[in-house]
Homo-oligomer: A and B are copies of this chain.
Amino acid sequence: MSVLINETRMTVESRSINEGFSRVAVAAFAAQLDPTVEELSDIKTAVSEAVTNCIVHAYEKQVGKIYITVGIYENQTIRIKIRDRGCGIENVRQAREPLYTTKGGERSGLGFAVMESFMDKVTIRSNVGKGTTVTLTKQICGRCKND
């Protein structure tokens, strides 16, 4: 693990209107790494997936708190932790499978698949009845490299 350069913590309520806020706020912090437009879009999409999962799955009908920690590390790496105190995931391996969803209707079951393909690393820690922490890691090559 490399040295932490800068960190911010945010707490948002599990209201769907905060999906947009969360990804924009994380992107504003990530901007310090001077990412490309594509890297920024990848980060926003992955954050949107993880935050939406807290709202749709973890807390479902209640309003709970979502804890977001964003850290910038020495080797141009960003690590985003998204934590809820919701229902938890019984079978994490199954949850990660593309197209697997416990909600029919308009959920595609692709949330974790998108996070995995847009970030370098996705870890999930979950305890049923206690909550879930998703950690997203990505190294930013950035715009400077092309100068």
Scoring A residues 1 to 36 as 1 if CB is less than 8 Å from chain B, else 0, what string do you get?
000001111111101011011001100110110000
**Separation of A31 and B14 alpha carbons in the complex (Å):** 17
CB distance from A124 to the nearest CB of B (A): 24
**Separation of A32 and B9 alpha carbons in the complex (Å):** 20
Is A11 a contact of B12 with CB atoms below 8 Å? no
Q: How many of these chains are in the complex?
A: 2
Interface centre among A9, A15, A21 (most CB of B within 10 A): A21
**Separation of A13 and B28 alpha carbons in the complex (Å):** 15
Chain B residues with CB under 8 A of A28: 20-21, 24-25, 28
Which of B15, B20, B31 touches A6 (beta carbons < 8 Å)? B15
Is B21 a contact of A12 with CB atoms below 8 Å? no
CB distance from A118 to the nearest CB of B (A): 20
Is A11 a contact of B9 with CB atoms below 8 Å? yes
Chain B residues with CB under 8 A of A24: 24-25, 28
CB distance from A108 to the nearest CB of B (A): 26
Is A21 a contact of B10 with CB atoms below 8 Å? no
Residue of B whose beta carbon sits closest to that of A29: B21
Chain B residues with CB under 8 A of A7: 13
Chain B residues with CB under 8 A of A6: 13, 15, 17-18
